[in-house]
Amino acid sequence: MRVKVILYLLGAFAFFLGLFMLPSAALSLIYHEKAAMAIFSSAIITSGIGVILFIAFSGQKTEISHREGFAITAITWIGAGFFGALPYIFSGVLPGFVDAYFESVSGFTTTGASVFKSVENLPHVLELLLLK
């Protein structure tokens, strides 16, 4: 298994995931919410890690084997949950990593499960992240 190819493709994924967080950060700025910096910081960290991986392991042949494809898929889901948990942690809405990770994975998989009893007191942008 070629770890460099896997890290290269994971870098591309993380970069785009971070980019997709930016509209939420912009919307949060429009609403003058405290969560704006939390989401913006999450986007910068996620994209930054993606760019570092992408550049550090560029020049790889991206033809992948089945084994590498399975590894990329599994690590992508784990990474998506981790990076998706950052806005919840940074905003203080869910200070515990386990709850934030659960909420993030629940959002990505659209299961509808949530650790929140009520979403009325959440910032608008975090409510947007909860639309499942």
How many distinct structural domains can be found in the chain?
1
Q: Is the pTM of this model over 0.85?
A: yes
Which residues span the domain enclosing 105?
Answer: 3-129
Tens of pLDDT along the chain (132 residues)?
A: 899 999 999 999 999 999 999 988 898 889 888 888 999 999 999 999 999 999 999 987 878 999 999 999 999 999 999 999 999 999 898 889 999 999 999 888 888 788 887 777 777 776 666 554
Give how far Cα 64 sits from Cα of 5, 36, 52, 67, 76, Å.
8, 38, 21, 8, 15
Nearest to 74 by CA among 8, 6, 5, 20: 6
CB 114, CB 103: distance < 8 Å = yes
Burial class (CB in 10 A: 0-12, 13-18, 19+), 58: exposed
- What's the maximum distance between 2 C-alpha atoms anywhere in the chain? 48
Q: Which letter does DSSP use for residue 122 in this model?
A: S
126, 35 in Cβ contact below 8 A? Answer: yes
